[in-house]
Amino acid sequence: MTDAAAQIEALRAALAKAEARADANAADAARAKAILSGSEALIAHLRLEIEKLRRELYGQRSERKQRLLEQMELQLEEMEASASEDEALAEAAAAKAKVEVAGFTRAKPVRKPFPEHLPRERVVIEAPCACAACGSSRLAKMGEDVTETLEVIPRQWKVIQTVREKFTCRDCERISQPSAPFHPTPRGWAGPSLLAMIAFEKYGQHQPLNRQAERYAREGVELSLSTLADQIGAIAAALAPLHALIAAHVMAAERLHADDTTVPLLAKGKTEIARLWVYGRDDRPFGGPAPPAALFHFSRDRRGQHPQAHLAKWSGVLQADAYAGFNALFGATRAQGQILPALCWSHARRKFFELADIAANARRGGKAPPISPLALEAVTRIDAVFDIERTINGLPADQRLAVRRAEVAPLVAALRDWMMTERARLSKHAPVAKAMDYMLTRLDGFTAFLRDGRICLTNNSAERSLRGVALGRKAWLFAGSERGGDRAAFFYTLIVTAKLNDVDPQAWLADVLARIASTPMSKLDELLPWNWAAKQSPSVKAA
């Protein structure tokens, strides 16, 4: 071996050792994080139990105490889910490490046996026909291992017993047994359909876990809040690779819809107004081939640094409202590429419509301000643009652009000239003047759709993605922690993306959870909602 070859081999060995050390350090860090999360969850669990014992001992003292218990239950739910997720990630990091790294198993409450009244369904894995060691067919059954998994069929509970029969070879006395099947979550006791239902009920139907636990108990199956929260964290860890694929798909778009909504966040003795952001990819209005998807993010506030971080590596056309936090992204000299703003005509129309809403004024009676003739005229002119836009929805981008230049551009020019003329006659404090200024000072963003057939007239796609969050706020009241808000954004990404592709989120999640553990990374994209739907029958999609 030459000196150069020896040096190369030495460098490769050094690199392998460095990678092993890095994996070991990452595993140790993940283990430490898992231990911390487990400790925090245990402390929260003990505090909740102490408070419940005090209430039993001294009675219910006040309505405030009941609200405190509900807050503590929600905090425990988020901490249990975080601890379970960190534990799964720590185990994955330990398995990846090339050197010996101590694993971590979190101490959990002892789970009760499954109720005896539930029917059992035996699923027997086919036994080997010959000895795996010597090939002999003289096998004799010596026993079996039974693994019970709690599963649910809509409104029907059952326990599935997975049986792995053991056989011993009469020639060589070796024992043969089929391998254990993959499970959606480590050491999981819940089947994929049950896991999908728990997650979808919480994030898709806005039913907190404590309410789910109460409903399950009424059906004869007692599952504690901690047990359900533990599964939420495990599901999040299991579906993380799929979420990453959806995020990459969204951020590969040349045009995004962006919006945000408020989310109350539990703080010490109060709630803070946090934000849930959505970035949607939807090329259907111009007949684009890319499937629609949505990516959600959570933040404690609405500072501009959050969307700037979300879109730090992205460039293209951003359809949004006139939120000032986006402005830093629109610089022409941006190193990552230019982001072009395209503003929403629905937002602009809404400002005029509120001043011209005849029905609302009629409901207010004599206290209502008079209808603004200028606002009514602006709404009429804007509606003419919307009427033409509806006729070209779904057409290719070049055809949309041709119609806009021929029919819409003259209407927009006339609207602009009319507003500039009328604005000059108004006081700067007039409400309709503010509505006009909103458009006149941002004409470039409002007319972007006249230069690009891919751009939509409105940002309604993003607003529709947030509709479920707005409807659910009254059900779940607040996010229990910042980590819980991030987890909610994670599951909203999955559920809303499934809905955008006309896929039943619960049926999709159930099938994905059943298959993801045995699916190699190279084929993981087959589980994405649009690819999954293409291979399912209509009855399975809506199961």
Question: DSSP string of 35-77?
Answer: HHHHHHHHHHHHHHHHHHHHHHHH----HHHHHHHHHHHHHHH
User: Residue 3: what pLDDT?
Assistant: 72
- Please report whether residue 142 resides in a domain: yes
Amino acid identity of residue 527, one-letter, is L
In angstroms, what CA-CA distances link 385 with 254, 347, 392, 403, 439? 25, 14, 11, 11, 15
Residue 91 and residue 49 in one domain = yes
Contact 212, 201 (CB under 8 A): yes
Beta-carbon-side half-sphere exposure of residue 111 (alpha carbons within 13 Å): 20
For residues 174 and 272, state if they share a domain: no
pLDDT at 66: 55
Shared-domain flag, residues 31 and 65:
yes
- Residue 51 forms part of a structural domain: yes
Do residues 212 and 305 both lie within one domain?
Answer: yes
- Which residue do the tokens 């590596």 mark? 313
- Residue 211 inside a domain? The answer is yes
Contacts of residue 122, Cβ cutoff 8 Å, sequence gap at least 6: 161, 163
Q: Which residues pair with 149 in a beta bridge?
A: 160
The verdict on 438 and 518 lying in the same domain is no
Residues 214, 299 within the same domain: yes
At 340, list the tokens: 């072009």
- Crossing angle of helices 482-500 and 192-203, in 10° steps, is 100
> 37 lies in a domain?
yes
H or E segment to which residue 274 belongs: strand 270-281
**What is the model's pLDDT at position 363?**
47
Say which amino acid occupies 266: L
Residue 340 included in any domain: no
Alpha carbons 330 and 342: distance in angstroms, whole number: 11
Report the pLDDT value the prediction gives residue 182, as an integer from 0 to 100: 78
**CA separation for the pair 454, 284 (Å, rounded):** 9
305 and 215, same structural domain? yes
Run of H or E including 12: helix 3-58
**Among 288, 219, 210, which Cα is nearest to 255's?**
288
pLDDT at site 152: 85
Q: What CA–CA distance (Å, rounded) separates 174 from 132?
A: 8
Would 380 be classed as within a structural domain?
Answer: yes
Q: What is the pLDDT of residue 23?
A: 75
Angle 74-77-80 from CA coordinates, rounded to 5°: 150
- Would you state the structure tokens that stand for residue 263, as one six-digit string? 């989310």
Return the structure tokens found at 419.
């507003």
> What's the token pair of residue 130?
């010959």
**CB–CB of 440/423 below 8 Å?**
yes
Is the CB of residue 384 less than 8 Å from the CB of residue 410? no
- Determine the pLDDT at residue 74: 66
Do residues 371 and 449 both lie within one domain?
yes
Domain boundary among 148, 166, 188: 188
H or E segment to which residue 87 belongs:
helix 63-96
Q: How much is the pTM?
A: 0.76
d(CA 81, CA 87): 10
| pLDDT tens-digit series, residues 455-503 | 999 999 998 888 888 776 766 656 668 888 899 999 999 999 999 999 9
Whether residue 485 sits in one domain with residue 375: no
Range of 454's domain? 345-458
Packing angle, helices 482-500 and 505-515, rounded to 10: 110
The phi and psi torsions of 4 (rounded to 5 degrees) equal -65, -45
Query: For residue 204, what is the DSSP state?
Result: T
At residue 412, the pLDDT reads 97
Instruction: Enter the tokens of residue 532.
Output: 């999954």
At 467, which amino acid appears? R
Report which residue type is found at 476.
W
pLDDT at site 359: 47
Positions of the chain with pLDDT under 70: 1-2, 36, 40, 42-44, 46-76, 97-111, 268-269, 357-370, 472, 474-480, 537-543
- Out of 435, 458, 481, a domain closes at 458
Q: Are residues 362 and 392 both part of a single domain?
A: yes
**Of 157, 188, 219, which closes a domain?**
188
Please provide the size of the chain in residues: 543
| Residue 173 included in any domain | yes
Question: CA–CA distance from 420 to each of 212, 366, 379, 435, 447 (Å)?
Answer: 57, 32, 16, 12, 16
Asked if residue 479 lies in contact with residue 266, where contact means CB atoms within 8 angstroms, the answer is yes
> Tokens standing for 179?
């391998």
Pair 363, 451 in one domain: yes
Same domain, 382 and 368: yes
Bridge partners of residue 297, in order along the sequence: 277
Instruction: Provide the number of structural domains found in the chain.
Output: 4
